[in-house]
Structure formats: structure tokens, C-alpha cells
Chains A and B, each alone.
Chain A
Amino acid sequence: QVQLVQSGAEVKKPGASVRISCKTSGDSFTHWMHWVRQAPGEGLEWMGVINPSGDTTVYSQKFQGRVTMTRDTATDTVYMELSSLRSGDTAVYFCARDTSVADTCWWFDPWGQGTLVTVSS
């Protein structure tokens, strides 16, 4: 059973950075990995994706310049760092494994359990 296990909750001050980890298992090292966030009471928001080797990333324009996704292939762990945090970044952050077929169908499965990041002074 493939599992994605994320690091624990974080409390940060405005202007700080946060780094969240997502430990993968199974054959996840061959998959692209996405990050998605969900602010309190809001919907899902795609943040970006990293390829299996960790040398290619695609970021949402909303987070470009503030987000960095990396991957440690030795430990099958992906990381997402978000900088210049503000109160609006308070959210649960999820990692999710990508699967695609024929360049027309993509789906995210499984998902990590989520990491709550609270930004407060």
C-alpha cells in the first residue's frame, strides 16, 4: 500500500519560511509529486509539482518566487518550502502522487495526511 507521510504542524511568524516534508513509499519515486493547499473553509489550491529525479519543477504563478520544491531520491522524500509567509498562507498543505495516461488524464493518488501551517504574530 502506497503511503505518503508528511511532517507535523508548524507555527510561523509573518515573514518566516516553512519547509514541509513528504515521505513516500512503494514505487512513488517514479512519480511526479504535487503540492496542494487548503485554507480554512476553502477549496483545494494547486501549488506545484516536481518530477521523479527532482530536476524539474512547475509552480503555480500565484506562488512563483516564494515556493521551492525539492526531492531527495536517496530517502524518497519530497519537500516544499514556502517563504515570506503571511496570514493568508495559514492552511493545510498536502502532497499527492501524480499518475497520468496518454497525456490526457491525470489524477492525484494517494495524498499525504496534510500538514497544518499557522502563520501568526
Chain B
Amino acid sequence: SSELTQDPAVSVALGQRVRITCQGDSLRKYCASWYQQKPGQAPILVLYGENYRPSGIPDRFSGSTSGNTASLTITGAQAEDEADYYCQSRVNGRDPWVFGGGTKLTVL
């Protein structure tokens, strides 16, 4: 089992806002980063340092952390945002880095 917990699936209507969450005790100390993965492709970084976007990532993607929960929010979801999203963080556990189990986002 992962030390970072994500909902397996989330859906959102086209153009609406959606929040994907990641829970874990390590998030009280360490930042979360977020990755988008589409079928058959390598993951790409969409958020790091909690709320920084790499070059090329649309500004509809934003991040935040409160307590032990990190969130990725998409404001105005587009069809191309349909993908799996993974959170990742450093942890003080069996392994130093872990990923959440992933959330499958469906854009309706």
C-alpha cells in the first residue's frame, strides 16, 4: 500500500473545476509534485514545489497543500486533461520516495 493516498477516479464536466487530492503524513513536511500520464506515454511533470508549473503547462493547473493533504486543481477542465494523475513526495518510511496510487480523471 502507498503512503500517499489518492482517489482512484474522478470525473468533471468540460469547462468545470476539479480537484484531485493526495493524503499522507509526509506532506506536512515535504512538498508534493504532480504528474500527468496519458495512455502509452511517459509521465510529465505538471506541478512542483506545491504550486509551480513547468514551462508549457497551462495556468488552469494549480496546486496547494493543507495539513496532510495536497491538491491539484484544474480550473476549466479541457478534454485533453483526461489522464491519470499521480502525486509524489519524499517520505520518512520504508522507501524515501513514493507515488500515490494515481487518480484517473475523466472529462465528460
Contact = CB atoms under 8 A, between A and B. Distances in A.
Nearest to B44: A111
A105 B50 contact: yes
Contacts of B43: 44, 94, 96, 108, 111
What bracket does the count of chain B residues touching chain A fall in? Answer: 20 to 34
A61 interface: yes
Nearest to B84: A43
A112 B43 CA distance: 9
B3 to A, nearest CB: 11
Interface string B74-90: 00000000001010111
Interface string A53-83: 0000010111000000000000000000000
A109 B42 contact: no
Nearest to A58: B96
Given A106-B90, A107-B49, A111-B43, A46 B99 contact: yes
Interface string B14-29: 0000000000000001
A109 B35 CA distance: 10
A36 to B, nearest CB: 8
A104 B96 contact: no
A80 to B, nearest CB: 15
A17 interface: no
Contacts of B99: 36, 43-46
Nearest to B43: A111
Contacts of B71: none
Contacts of A91: none
Interface of A: 34, 36, 43-46, 49, 58, 60-62, 94, 96, 99, 101, 104-114
Given A43-B86, A43-B101, 18 more contacts: A36-B99, A43-B84, A43-B99, A43-B100, A44-B86, A46-B95, A49-B97, A60-B95, A62-B95, A104-B29, A104-B31, A104-B90, A105-B30, A105-B50, A106-B89, A107-B33, A107-B49, A111-B44
